[in-house]
Chains A and B, each alone.
Chain A
Amino acid sequence: MKADQTLDCIGLYCPIPIVKIATKIKDLKTGEILEVVGDDKGIKLDVPAWCQATGHELLGIEEQGGEIKVYVKKAPN
């Protein structure tokens, strides 16, 4: 999937990726896509929950080896 920005969360455990995503998403424009790359398995349930709470759209989760990529589309403010 093509993303506008990427956030590296490799080696970071819950809840830090969520905190970083929440900060990073502010830099994006509405409709832009943020790619989050992490290796903490918690991210697979945490990001969907965060999206539900904040209204941003979860586009998909990809897993290759130990690496997890999550795509989030920014919702209007």
Chain B
Amino acid sequence: MAKKEKLTIAVLSGDLERALAAFMLAVTGASMDMEVSMFFTFWGLNIVKKNEGTMKSKGLMKKMLNMMNRGGSKRLKLSRFNMLGLGTWMMKDLMKQANMPSIDEYIAMAKDMGVELIACTTTCGVMGISPEKDSFRSEVGSLAGAAYFLSEARKSGVTLFI
């Protein structure tokens, strides 16, 4: 069998619609027999932060950051028309009516299909998250840095920055 094509996606944004688009492309890539890696960095880390419990972090500033930016897939908002959550709620409802998977379902689907989910260690520090697998949902397979992203990206036919 021919060598698999690669798709590498850097997810910098934690906006709901961008997160959805990233996962839509990831699962489609996996369906097209591509090897898919997703790197979560800066606000993108919010997508894969654990939904439950308090975030462990050291130091006052990091603790404050985590309180103000708790993150987790259930707390993602639309970049526009959020309207104190009403817009986001409406969009989620419309998606449900259209049988579209939620972000949680997409994350599980991606994992099932062999998409590699990676959290960026460096930006964990900036975002006040302790760089351990424990900070993230179980689907996140590893933590890595910029060199790993670039080494994946240079092997990829398609690299996206979302």
Contacts and interface: CB of A to CB of B under 8 A. Distances in A.
B32 A16 contact: no
Would you call the interface of chain A mostly helix, strand, loop, or mixed? helix
A19 B113 CA distance: 9
A59 interface: no
A54 B4 CA distance: 10
A8 B9 CA distance: 30
30 contacts: A11-B99, A13-B98, A13-B100, A15-B24, A15-B27, A15-B31, A16-B99, A16-B100, A16-B101, A18-B28, A18-B31, A18-B32, A19-B27, A19-B28, A19-B30, A19-B31, A19-B109, A19-B113, A21-B31, A22-B30, A22-B31, A22-B32, A23-B31, A50-B31, A50-B32, A53-B5, A53-B32, A53-B33, A53-B34, A54-B33
Interface of A: 11-16, 18-19, 21-23, 50, 53-54, 77
